[in-house]
């Protein structure tokens, strides 16, 4: 980052740090140069603990960059393409208040191969970002500039964060390819669930449309 050299970390450190899910992977430590002869230390765990869906953080970063450049941020200046890493429906279907009322500390940490407390925090964090952005884009009239692609039916090993076997990776690739042919979905503001957007195309068609818009905008800026 031009104005904050201490944040110019290696992508490998960023990836390892932001995926260091507690109870699954160790916390990650690294240092960067601050541009003044010193260093800055980073002690990181899974980014999902703070922002499981970092879309709002990305928009804030763009707004900050525009302010520093002397530009005025505006809702219609954004085209947001948010691609999730997939979720399972377990947090919504597997846990009930009746069962959880009987849990002790250990059951909240480990239950049937899952980590209920993390499942709920992660799902809640991501869902609230989806909800807020859907409301904001509707108010600003920019719903057509926000595309969220998320697969929420992961099951078995596909929903595991520590299974990097070739068979599982191949399965995830297949799921991703199938997701491209699915209809664009959005958040139902009444229920908070993802539903198909009426009259919307497929995810692949929307991505192609957004790619053209971005390409046209880049061409326009280069010509000015």
Q: pLDDT averaged over consecutive 10-residue blocks of the chain (224 residues)?
A: 84 94 90 92 89 81 80 74 78 75 92 80 77 79 84 84 92 94 85 80 94 93 89
Contact (Cβ atoms closer than 8 angstroms) between residue 79 and residue 145: yes
The residue count for the chain:
224
Instruction: List where CATH 3.40.1090.10 sits in the chain.
Output: 81-223
What is the per-residue pLDDT for 91?
47
Q: Name the pTM for this structure.
A: 0.73
Two tokens, residue 112: 């049937």
**What pLDDT is stored for residue 11 in this prediction?**
95
Both tokens assigned to 132 = 């807020």
SS3 label, residue 13: helix
Enclosing H/E stretch for 105: helix 105-109
Tell the CATH topology of 81-223: Cytosolic phospholipase A2 catalytic domain (3.40.1090)
84: closest CA among 166, 175, 189, 13?
Answer: 175
Backbone torsions φ then ψ of 123, nearest 5 degrees: -65, -40
């Amino acid at each position: 980052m031009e104005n904050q050299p201490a944040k110019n970390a290696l992508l490998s450190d960023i990836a390892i740090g932001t995926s260091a899910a507690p109870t699954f992977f160790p916390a990650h430590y690294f240092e960067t140069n601050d541009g003044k002869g010193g260093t800055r230390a980073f002690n990181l765990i899974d980014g999902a603990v703070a922002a499981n869906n970092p879309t709002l953080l990305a928009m804030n970063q763009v707004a900050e960059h525009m302010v520093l450049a002397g530009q005025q941020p505006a809702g219609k200046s954004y085209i947001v393409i948010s691609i999730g890493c997939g979720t399972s429906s377990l947090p919504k279907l597997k846990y009930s208040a009746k069962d959880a009322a009987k849990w002790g500390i250990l059951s909240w940490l480990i239950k049937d191969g899952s980590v209920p407390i993390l499942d709920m925090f992660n799902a809640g964090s991501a869902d609230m970002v989806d909800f807020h952005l859907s409301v904001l884009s509707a108010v600003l009239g920019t719903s057509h500039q926000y595309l969220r692609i998320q697969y929420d039916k992961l099951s078995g090993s596909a929903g595991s964060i520590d299974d990097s076997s070739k068979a599982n990776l191949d399965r995830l690739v297949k799921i991703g390819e199938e997701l491209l042919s699915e209809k664009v979905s959005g958040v139902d503001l009444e229920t908070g669930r993802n539903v198909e957007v009426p009259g919307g195309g497929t995810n692949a068609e929307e991505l192609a449309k957004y790619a053209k818009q971005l390409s046209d905008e880049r061409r326009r800026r280069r010509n000015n």
